[in-house]
Structure 1
Amino acid sequence: MTKNCEICPFSNNPAFVAPSKQECETVNLHRIGEMQVEAGCEILAEGSDPRRFFTLLEGQAMRYHTLEDGRRQVLNFLFPGDLIGLEPIMLGETSHAVEALSPVSLCVFDRTQIWQMFAKMPERAFMLTWQVAREEHFLGQALISVGQRSARESLAWAFVSLWDRGQQSGMVEDGKMPFPVRQQDLADALGLSLVHTNKTLSRLRSEDLVVWRDGVLQLPDRDALARVGLVDSTVIKKRFYL
């Protein structure tokens, strides 16, 4: 165990609700430790029934489902503060895989201890409801992109949505955000071909709406890009974390 709640990377982040001393003691009692995963490696395997669940401490990851013929649907992108492994806790196994897009650090918990842990800190259990609600909101907007938004609108929506999540997690500094997502990942998330994604991205770049190179993202005019992407004005409020 290399860290504890007192020096958690989220403790001074105003986007998160800081735990009380009692909650810190409870989390430290039930956490197993930390785990590092290299970029490109699997955190959760599709169809598995893992004994652990995780909080993503540092880095970024991706949740996706693979069809029998190898085609892939990216379901969501994960940022620091997100929980990984909730589905098998509720349903017995996971229907998707989770891959690290960059080197990541994970806070590890024993899945069998989750209910005892939350029984001791019921307010912190709200994070489960919060994450499910945010996931539902994101997937709903992604479905709108696949079904109704144009390719230009879809990419604009994706960049703004992921930028806002990164900003909330404290990843945006001096107008720049680490962005290890690949063009193929965005294409697979939005139901676009790689060629169409590349051409549409080039257009957004030519309009000075997106700067994305060497794994770093900048949005020179976030509000203008949001208008292009028909981004709704739903405000994501502060969240609890483990």
Structure 2
Amino acid sequence: MRESHPAVHVTVCHNCPLRQLPLFLPFSEGELSFMERFKVGEMSVDPGVMLLEEGQGSAHLFTILSGLGIRSTMLENGRRQVINFLFPGDFVGLQAGLSDKMRHTVESTTPMVLCVFNRANLMSLFREEPERAYDLTWIAAVEEHFLGETIATLGQRDATQRMAWALLRIHERLLSVGLGDGDGRVQMPWRQQDLADALGLSLVHTNKTIRRLREMGAARWSGGTLSIDREQLGAVALADPEQPRRRPLI
């Protein structure tokens, strides 16, 4: 496993590139000033680095400034369940910040840069910036909603519908954080095994399902890029294509 290391250049919150994206709600000047005090540094990591480990505590909280990752948990039989995929702007480590131990693992899929916050300073956010504290509640509620949609997918959609739903939602999120091109193709660095572990499918079944969607013309995942027919993929997934809701940025 490759190591993490401090970022050579630290991004000032006023110049944060994520703030320029339509996905994220604007900051007030007061919120910006607080976040610049709250942030203690940046960390760069290689692919395959475990940022937070299940069963362990952490002295830090993170916002993903760039790069992609995975949240997962390991079952007693050694099998991995991918809980969700991580995108720029996602806030990670709150679980350990509130309950001392992580109940899942966070791992980088690509090179990542993370804004670093001291866990010990979390209460100052609640005391000094109640609107920022509300934003944390909003983020937690959105994650709860997504996990509910995931449970419905695993329980009520067949394999092809599951894969169509996952590729549709991933494509939407990747586009929303600027990881697409003018033709609607997005970077797709996750492996088929990652999708299999997220959707409760074998690797063989995952491969066949992806091929079936390609033959239908609904989705094409090849060479680290993903392109989709949104309406067709949504119809297969039994889900409406949608733009991700604007969200707060911590």
Superposition TM-score, scaled by structure 1 size = 0.94
Deviation readout 1:104-132 (Å, 9 max, x if unpaired): 11000001111212432222223212221
1:198 aligns with 2:198: no
Give the 3-state SS of the residue equivalent to 1:125 in structure 2: helix
Q: CA offsets per residue over residues 152-201 of structure 1, 9 Å max, x none? A: 00000000111112222222222121111110110110101110110010
Distance (whole Å) between structure 2 residues aligned to residue 168 and residue 152 of structure 1: 24
What is the distance in 2 between the residues matched to 1:133 and 1:117? 18
CA contact (8 A) 2:70 2:86 kept: yes
- Give the Cα separation in 2 of the matches to 1:110 and 1:142: 31
Equivalent position of 2:6 in the other structure: none
Decide which moves more: 111-120 or 4-13. 111-120
- Per the alignment, do residues 168 and 119 of structure 1 end up closer, same or farther by CA in structure 2, a change over 3 Å counting? farther
- Would you say the 8 A contact 2:125–2:132 is kept in 1? no
Q: Distance in 2 between matches of 1:216 and 1:153?
A: 20
Q: Residue 87 of structure 1 aligns to a residue in which SS?
A: helix
CA distance in structure 2 between the aligned counterparts of 1:126 and 1:233, rounded to whole angstroms:
28
Partner residue, 1:58? 66
Q: Describe how 1:132-211 pairs up with structure 2 within 5 A.
A: 132-174=140-182, 175-211=184-220
Cross-structure match for 2:136: 128
Decide which of 96, 99, 115 is 1:107's aligned counterpart. Answer: 115
In the alignment, which residue of structure 1 is the partner of 2:12?
Answer: 4
Higher mean Cα deviation, 14-23 or 38-47? Answer: 14-23
In the alignment, structure 1 segments of 5+ residues that lack a partner are none
Equivalent-residue separation in structure 2 for 1:27 and 1:225 (angstroms): 39
C-alpha contact (below 8 Å) 2:187/2:225 kept by paired residues: yes
Residue-by-residue CA offset, 1:63-111 (whole Å, 9 max, x unaligned): 0000122100000001111101011122221011011011111000001
Name the % identity. Answer: 43
Matched, 1:35 2:43: yes
Check the 8 A contact 1:11/1:18 in 2, yes or no.
Answer: yes
Letter in 1 for 2:87: F
Check the 8 A contact 1:27/1:117 in 2, yes or no. no
Contact residue 59 and residue 103 of structure 1 kept, 8 A: yes
State the partner residue of 1:117. 125
Contact 2:139–2:248 (Cα < 8 Å) also in 1: no
Query: In structure 2, how many angstroms separate the alpha carbons of the residues matched to 1:37 and 1:139?
Result: 27
Unpaired runs of 5+ residues, structure 2, are 1-8
In structure 1, the residue corresponding to 2:179 is in which secondary structure?
coil
Shift of 1:50: 0.1
Q: Which residue of 2 aligns with 1:222?
A: 230
Report the AA paired with residue 232 of structure 2: A
Deviation at 1:232, TM superposition (A): 4.7
Runs of 4+ in structure 1 over 3 Å off: 232-236
**TM-score (norm. length: structure 2):** 0.92
**Once superposed, what is the RMSD of the aligned Cα atoms?**
1.5
